Amino acid sequence: MAKSLPKIVLSGSRDIPFDRLRLSQSNVRRVKAGVSIGELAEDIVRRTLLQSLNVRPILDEAGQETGDFEVPAGGRRFRALELLVKQKRLAKNAPIPCVIKAANDGVLAEEDSYAENTFREPLHPLDQFRAMQAMVDKGEGIESIAAHFLVTPAVVNQRLRLAKVSPTLHAVYAEDGMTLEQLMAFSISDDHERQEQVWELLAHSYNKSGAYIRQKLTEDTIRVADRRVRFVGVDAYVAAGGHVLRDLFEDDDGGWLTDPALLDRLVSEKLQAEGETIGAEGWKWVATGVDLPWGVTDGMREIDGVPVQRTPEEDARLAELEAEAEALEEQWSDEPHVPDEVHARITHMFEHEPDGDAIYFYASDGPSDTVWLDIADLKVMLQDEPMPSGAVIEMIRSKSAEADPDETELELDLSDLGDAAIFQQIVRRCDQLDHVTITSAWTCTKMRPDGFGGGVTVVTADHILSSSTSEMECRLLDKAEHGELGCAPGHGRHPVLTLAEEDVRSMLTDIQKAHAGADTAAIEVSDTHIRQACVATIGKLNLDEQIRNIEFSAAMAAIGIASGTLA
Are 254 and 388 in contact, with CB atoms under 8 Å apart?
yes
DSSP, res 458: E
Label residue 157 by pLDDT band (50, 70, 90). confident
More confident residue, 186 or 324: 186
pLDDT in the model for residue 364: 47
3-state secondary structure of 535: helix
Most confident of 14-18, 131-135, 208-212, 482-486: 14-18
More confident residue, 1 or 49: 49
Q: What integer is the mean pLDDT of 249-262? A: 85
Which of 233-237, 283-287, 309-313, 482-486 has the least mean pLDDT? 482-486
- Torsion angle, alpha carbons of 128, 131, 136, 138, to 10: -170
d(CA 409, CA 14): 64
Instruction: Judge whether residue 357 has pLDDT over 60.
Output: no
Domains of the chain and CATH, by start: 13-118 (3.90.1530.30), 125-262 (no CATH), 417-493 (no CATH), 501-563 (no CATH)
Label residue 382 by pLDDT band (50, 70, 90). low
pLDDT in the model for residue 443: 46
pLDDT in the model for residue 444: 44
More confident residue, 86 or 546: 86
pLDDT in the model for residue 18: 93
- Global pTM value: 0.45
Are 131 and 123 in contact, with CB atoms under 8 Å apart?
yes
Instruction: Judge whether residue 222 has pLDDT over 80.
Output: yes
Q: What integer is the mean pLDDT of 252-272? A: 89
More confident residue, 549 or 81: 81
Mean of all residue pLDDT scores within the chain:
78
Are 368 and 339 in contact, with CB atoms under 8 Å apart?
no
Alpha-helical runs (H) found in 367-416: 375-384, 391-402
What share of the chain in percent tops pLDDT 90?
13
Label residue 546 by pLDDT band (50, 70, 90). low
Which of 3-7, 25-29, 431-435 has the least mean pLDDT? 431-435
pLDDT in the model for residue 130: 87
pLDDT in the model for residue 236: 92
Most confident of 349-353, 401-405, 538-542: 401-405
Q: What integer is the mean pLDDT of 269-292? A: 87
d(CA 214, CA 209): 9
More confident residue, 369 or 460: 460
d(CA 409, CA 372): 6
Bridge partners of 69, per DSSP, are: 21, 57
Instruction: Judge whether residue 97 has pLDDT over 90.
Output: yes
Are 484 and 250 in contact, with CB atoms under 8 Å apart?
no
pLDDT in the model for residue 203: 84
Label residue 70 by pLDDT band (50, 70, 90). very high
Instruction: Judge whether residue 415 has pLDDT over 70.
Output: no
More confident residue, 230 or 148: 230
Q: Which of 434, 469, 552, 200 is CA-nearest to residue 560?
A: 552
What share of the chain in percent tops pLDDT 70?
74
Q: What integer is the mean pLDDT of 96-106? A: 89
More confident residue, 330 or 227: 227
